[in-house]
């Protein structure tokens, strides 16, 4: 019983950690993609 509880707890921790990592990488990719998209749009309008 106790082993099962520990397993569930560690699974939850892993899920929380991976969600935090996903949020971080999503924010990073957004902050990288936005200037690229803006530059692309500006070039399209000027071109």
Band (1; pLDDT cuts 50, 70, 90): low
Distance, in Å, from the CA atom of 46 to the CA atom of 17, rounded to the nearest integer, reads: 44
**What's the CA gap between 22 and 4, in Å, rounded?**
27
Mean pLDDT, the chain, integer? 91
Q: What is the mean pLDDT of residues 3-16?
A: 90
The radius of gyration computed from the CA coordinates of the chain, to the nearest angstrom, equals: 20
Residue 24 has pLDDT above 80, yes or no: yes
Helix (H) or strand (E) run with residue 46 in it: helix 2-46
Amino acid 40: pLDDT: 94
Mean pLDDT of the 18-37 span = 93
Q: What is the pTM of this model?
A: 0.55
């Amino acid at each position: 019983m106790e082993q099962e509880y520990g397993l569930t707890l560690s699974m939850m921790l892993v899920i929380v950690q991976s969600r935090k990592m996903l949020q971080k990488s999503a924010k990073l990719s957004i902050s990288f993609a936005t200037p690229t998209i803006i530059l692309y749009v500006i070039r399209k309008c000027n071109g």
